[in-house]
């Protein structure tokens, strides 16, 4: 039996702003990520495990500050000195989009650090590569589309054709690795990629179709014994109840409020040929608290058309706020919707004082104006595409441009999925 620890998407330098710890000089939110990483490394050493697989995205981007490289390096050296082989996949955030540029984990390869295996090109690892462990690993880092195009004679492919070509290329490569594997030894596939059927977490603000996607049939191949994935922050097993487990452990700490509902994990796997027992180990990170107050409901309660006074507005707000004890040391967000003419009735100073013990407090005012979507004389709603109507509505409502793009991306995915489902039902 081989015991594996699998984690991914550390992004240790993502939260570089906010309050700082006076002892270390680092932002408290950075320390949250490092605490999670310490928990993982300590578990690997104390258990002990036979192999650590990190499925990509150590940093925010390919140019981490030396301070954060040092912090990541400390933890990797602990594993190296403990004699535990570590597979480090290079993720999309670790890669440079420029062809030929070094990636963020290059130094471990350059200096040939003992027991650290940096995977920046597809590889097939055998027991000889992994200190004699009776295991085989197919390792796929993020495949950069720009780098791939730079190596390709014809670089004029559109996005859809490029994705399809990459998917075919990767599928053929993995199938070849499987064919060449030893059928008596456990076989693991690890990849930093999107997989068909995966549920995205709050990190997804990309346009549908921007990622290439590995087919579900590829990763669910019964000749594989465990599939260790990274790239998607929401923890999930895409082959629950079947063999092999196809696992995204998710990010190690909440990145933002889009992940507020996600419990964070790393995974320990007891692996034999044809059998994988999983243990989802929870990570106890920073508490996020999100509240929305819609003062238009106060107007509905009154139902008399009379504007409430300052005391009534603040009483309604106080009634719907979390206790200060609950807020303490959390990352908190409060969003207040209200008729624009009620602006002066809200005591913003009092609200900020209520949240003063939070580690971070984001107080967001959303004044609502009475707007109507106006079309030109030659335009008809029935002739407009849904996304065009949505764009017009969001613009007229004063939604911030960055929020408009995220909402349009989400709408694109919903419309795409609904149309696909309708077409499949009609064709069945």
Domain boundaries, the chain: 2-283, 288-423
Cβ-Cβ contacts under 8 Å for 291 (sequence gap 6 or more): 320, 321, 322, 332, 333, 334, 335
- Residue in 187, 189, 8, 177 with CA at minimum distance from that of residue 88: 8
- By DSSP bridging, strand 213-214 and strand 246-248 are unpaired
Do residues 280 and 269 make contact, with C-beta atoms less than 8 angstroms apart?
Answer: no
CA distance 94 to 251: 15
CA distance 361 to 358: 6
3-state secondary structure of 137: strand
Which is the CATH superfamily of the domain at 2-283? Answer: Metallo-dependent phosphatases (3.60.21.10)
Do residues 227 and 245 make contact, with C-beta atoms less than 8 angstroms apart?
Answer: yes
Q: Count CB neighbours of 179 within 10 A.
A: 8
- Residue in 314, 320, 318, 325 with CA at minimum distance from that of residue 358: 325
CA distance 387 to 275: 47
CA distance 280 to 6: 10
What pTM, to 2 d.p., does this model score?
0.83
What is the H or E stretch that residue 419 is in? Answer: helix 401-427
- Residue in 123, 225, 237 with CA at minimum distance from that of residue 174: 123
Give me the torsion for CA of 87, 91, 93, 94, rounded to 10°: 50
CA distance 160 to 158: 6
What string of pLDDT tens digits covers the 428 residues of the chain? Answer: 999 999 999 999 988 788 999 999 999 999 999 999 999 999 999 999 999 999 999 999 888 999 999 999 999 999 999 999 999 999 998 887 666 677 888 888 888 899 999 999 999 999 999 999 999 999 999 987 666 665 566 666 677 777 788 889 999 999 999 999 999 999 999 999 999 999 887 665 433 446 788 999 999 999 999 999 999 999 999 999 999 999 999 999 999 998 999 999 999 999 999 999 999 999 999 999 999 999 989 988 777 778 899 999 999 999 999 999 999 999 999 999 999 899 999 999 999 999 999 999 999 999 987 655 555 555 665 667 787 778 777 766 667 666 777 788 788 878 766 655 555 555 54
DSSP for residue 369: -
Query: Helices H, strands E: what count in the chain?
Result: 12, 17
If you search the block for the tokens 């008729």, which residue do you land on?
339
């Amino acid at each position: 039996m081989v015991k594996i620890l699998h984690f991914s998407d550390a992004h240790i330098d993502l939260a570089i702003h906010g309050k700082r710890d006076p002892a270390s000089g680092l932002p408290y939110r950075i320390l949250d990520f490092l605490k999670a990483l310490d928990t993982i490394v300590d578990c690997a050493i104390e258990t002990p495990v036979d192999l650590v697989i990190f499925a990509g995205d150590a940093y925010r981007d390919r140019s981490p500050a030396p301070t954060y490289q040092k912090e990541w390096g400390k933890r990797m050296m602990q594993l190296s000195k403990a004699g535990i082989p570590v597979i480090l996949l290079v993720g999309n955030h670790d890669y440079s989009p420029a062809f030929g540029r070094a990636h963020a984990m290059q130094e471990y390869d350059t200096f040939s650090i003992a027991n650290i295996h940096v995977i920046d090109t597809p590889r097939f690892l055998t027991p000889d590569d992994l200190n004699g462990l009776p295991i085989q690993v197919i390792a796929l880092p993020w495949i950069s589309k720009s780098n791939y195009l730079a190596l390709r004679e014809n670089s004029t492919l559109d996005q859809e054709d490029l994705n399809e070509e990459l998917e075919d290329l990767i599928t053929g490569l993995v199938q070849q690795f499987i064919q060449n594997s030893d059928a008596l030894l456990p076989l693991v596939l690890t990849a930093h990629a999107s997989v068909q059927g995966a549920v995205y977490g709050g990190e997804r603000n990309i346009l549908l179709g921007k990622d290439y996607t590995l087919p579900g049939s590829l990763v669910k191949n019964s000749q594989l014994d465990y599939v260790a994935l990274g790239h998607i922050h929401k923890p999930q097993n895409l082959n629950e109840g079947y063999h092999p487990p196809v696992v995204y452990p998710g990010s190690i700490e909440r990145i933002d409020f889009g992940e507020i509902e996600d419990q964070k994990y790393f995974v320990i796997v007891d692996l034999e040929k044809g059998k994988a027992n999983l243990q989802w180990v929870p990570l106890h990170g920073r508490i996020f608290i999100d509240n929305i107050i819609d003062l238009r409901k106060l107007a509905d309660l009154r139902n008399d058309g009379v504007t409430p006074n300052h005391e009534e507005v603040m009483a309604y707000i106080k009634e719907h706020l979390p206790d200060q004890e609950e807020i303490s040391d959390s990352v908190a967000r409060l969003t207040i919707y209200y008729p624009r003419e009620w602006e002066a009735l809200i005591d913003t100073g009092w609200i900020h004082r209520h949240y003063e013990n939070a580690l971070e407090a984001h107080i967001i005012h959303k004044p609502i104006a009475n707007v109507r979507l106006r079309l030109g004389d030659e335009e008809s709603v029935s002739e407009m595409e849904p996304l065009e109507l949505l764009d017009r509505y969001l613009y007229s409502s004063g939604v911030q441009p960055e929020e408009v793009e995220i909402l349009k991306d989400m709408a694109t995915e919903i419309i795409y999925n609904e149309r696909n489902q309708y077409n499949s039902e009609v064709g069945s």
